[in-house]
Structure formats: C-alpha cells, structure tokens
Structure 1
Amino acid sequence: MKKIFFISIFILVFSGIVNAQISGQLFQQESEIPGVKIYFKNSDKKSESDFHGFFKLQIPEGIGKDDLILKDRELYVEILNLEFGFEKLNLGKIELPTFKSISIEEYEQLSESEKESCYPIKHWTNLIGYLYTNKLEHEYLILNCKNKITEFEYNPSTKTVSVDWNLIKHCE
C-alpha cells in the first residue's frame, strides 16, 4: 500500500514538472502581435507567439525564479524576478509598449545622432512619420494590468523595458 502511495505521489510530481509552462497572449496597440520571441534569460527554452499573439513556453526543470524576455523586433521587455512553481502560469493578455511616434516636422528638429534612432513609418510609399526609439509612446506600461505601471526602466541604448514581476503578478 505504501509503495502505491509513493508511486502515485511520484507520478503527480513528475507530471507537474513535465507540464510546467507559462502562457499568455501578446498585443500591441490593441492588436494581436505574432512573431514575438519569448524565452527565459538563463535557459535555452524558447517560444514564439502565433498569429493571434498566443504563446506557451515550457518552464525549465528545477528553476524557481528567472527573468522572462519578450522580444518584438528591436524592443525587449524583461519581466524580472519571475517566480513560479511547477505548474501552469497564465500571464493573460499582455499589452506590449511601443516606441514614440513622431511627425516628420518633429523628426526634422532632431539632431543627427537622434535621427539615427528613428525608423520611417510609411503607408504604401508615402512617409507619414517616424518611430523614435529613444522614447516610449507612453510614460507607463499596461502589460496585463488595468492600472498603469509607472515603476519601470527603459534603456534606449539596448531598447529594453524592465519591470519587476512583483509589480504585475497580482494585476487583474
């Protein structure tokens, strides 16, 4: 009887480890965003969001804390100190930040070095503005919260937004 009990416990624990995963859905400007690379900083496990922005990433065995990286083209979002047990963790709907959108006139006012941090926005062949990578569109993050998150860091040289998991883990 004890043998069956221990085997049952072992199977439950092992199945939890094998199925441990993190998931969610990524948005940008209220549209699903495919092709975002998702990975842990200290692991070789990687995933990518599908056409509808959904992703699933296996949590590496024996890890209780790590940084989750969401990489969309040139913008990195780091969720620092992510804590998880061996279970499924759904981050829900995550709104990724965007670079600052500026007009052609604003672009012309920038220095030459600042202009190097800009990408043209075109509609068909018409230039309609620029994305300025030295700033984010908003001074806050939404991620998966209803409330605006203002406690984050943005490094324009690495194009990395860093936010601590403790600020967002209890968001609705």
Structure 2
Amino acid sequence: MRKLKYILIIIFFALTNIVFSQVSGTILMDSLSLPGAEIKFKKSDKGVMADFDGNFVLPLESEIKNNILVISYAGLSIEIKNIELKNGKLNIGEFEIPYFKDISITEFEQLSESEKENCLPTYCWGQLLGYFSTDKLEKEYLTLNCREKITEFEFNPTTKTIIVDWNLIKECK
C-alpha cells in the first residue's frame, strides 16, 4: 500500500511537470506588440501564435529533444539555440523582431535583377514608398530581451534566418 502511494505521487508530479512545462514571452517590433508571430521549437510541428498584445505561451507536451526555439514573422526567423528549461518553465521576456533593410526607390533601381528578387515593396495608401531588401538587416545588432546591443549572431540571407545563442541574452532581462 505504501509503495502504491509513492508511485501515485511520482506519477502525479511527472504528469503535472509535463502539463505545465512551457515557454512564454512577448514579441515586439519597434517596441510595439506584434500579433501573429509564430513560436515553436525547431523540428516540431506544434507551435503557437502571439496574441494581440504580442504575448505567447508555448506548452511543452513532453521532454524537448531539440533546444532551438524559433520565432517567425513576415519571412524572417530568429533561432535561439541552447535554450535551458528550469523546472519545465521559461519566460524569454520581450523580444524585438528586427527589420529588413529599408532602401529607396532609387537604390532599388540600381540593383541587379537577381538582387531585386530579394526585395519587397513598401506601400502606404497605395503609394510606393520604397523597398525592403530581405537579404540584409536594417541594423547590425539585435536588441533581444535587453537594452544592450547584441552583435554576436549569424544572419543567413538565403534562408532569412537569424541564429543567436540564448547564453548571450538570458542574463540581460
């Protein structure tokens, strides 16, 4: 009877750890909430979208086998590697999604045809204002979760992916 009681307690705590394991945070762009950003672990089919206020909670149904968190919006992905879950929970804080490089109409016209393929037009009320060059970032640094400028990251212009190590940003909340 005593062993059964201990087994039930262990099962209860194991199940609550599985049910309540989660990653949470807020996604921003230009310091404003960014609804619609997708958050998931790499190689996982299950993800969540940031709500109207940019907040998200990504529940973990089982022990994660991959510790790369992916935040995606408008063709740009940020991969945060070496995520550490303590007690099954992690609040990543506020994350700023960076912009692609903004170029003028004149700069766009000077690009080669292959370079033009990596550009998206920017319109306001139907008027062409310029372009976003999706193979470059607007700034050479990130401001993820802190006011410090993070310069140690990789940007792959082909896949439109930024790769940054959690160890660089976890201490600057």
Tell me whether the two structures share a fold, i.e. TM-score over 0.5: yes
Q: Tell whether 2:96 aligns with 1:105.
A: no
**CA distance in 2: counterparts of 1:63 and 1:123, whole angstroms:** 43
Letter in 1 for 2:72: K
**CA distance in 2: counterparts of 1:16 and 1:2, whole angstroms:** 23
- Aligned-residue Cα RMSD (Å) equals 1.8
CA contact (8 A) 1:78 1:161 kept: yes
Which region of structure 1 is more displaced relative to structure 2, 162-171 or 127-136?
Answer: 162-171
Q: CA deviation at 1:45?
A: 2.2
| Equivalent residue number for residue 91 of structure 2 | 90
Q: CA deviation at 1:120?
A: 0.7
**CA distance in 2: counterparts of 1:49 and 1:41, whole angstroms:** 17
Note the alpha carbon deviations across 1:7-38, whole angstroms, 9 max, x for none.
44542342122110001110011221111111
Note the alpha carbon deviations across 1:38-83, whole angstroms, 9 max, x for none.
1111322211111111111012412265111111021111111212
CA contact (8 A) 1:65 1:83 kept: no
| Equivalent residue number for residue 40 of structure 1 | 41
| Equivalent residue number for residue 138 of structure 1 | 139
* Alignment of structure 1 residues 47-126 onto 2, 5 Å: 47-63=48-64, 65-126=66-127
**CA distance in 2: counterparts of 1:102 and 1:34, whole angstroms:** 25
The 3-state SS of whatever aligns with 2:23 is strand
Q: Tell whether 2:160 aligns with 1:171.
A: no
Q: CA deviation at 1:166?
A: 1.3
Q: CA deviation at 1:87?
A: 2.2
The 3-state SS of whatever aligns with 2:68 is strand
Q: 1:152 to 1:139 in 2, by over 3 A?
A: same
Letter in 2 for 1:53: G
* Alignment of structure 1 residues 153-168 onto 2, 5 Å: 153-168=154-169
| Equivalent residue number for residue 32 of structure 2 | 31
CA contact (8 A) 1:65 1:84 kept: no
- Gaps of at least 5 residues in structure 2 are none
- Gaps of at least 5 residues in structure 1 are none
Q: Runs of 4+ in structure 1 displaced over 6 angstroms?
A: none
CA contact (8 A) 2:43 2:66 kept: no
Q: CA deviation at 1:86?
A: 4.2
Aligned pair count reads: 172
Q: CA deviation at 1:127?
A: 0.8
**CA distance in 1: counterparts of 2:154 and 2:19, whole angstroms:** 34
Note the alpha carbon deviations across 1:141-169, whole angstroms, 9 max, x for none.
11112211100000111100111111112
The TM-score normalised by the length of structure 2 is 0.91
The 3-state SS of whatever aligns with 2:83 is strand
| Equivalent residue number for residue 147 of structure 1 | 148
The 3-state SS of whatever aligns with 1:82 is coil
| Equivalent residue number for residue 18 of structure 1 | 19
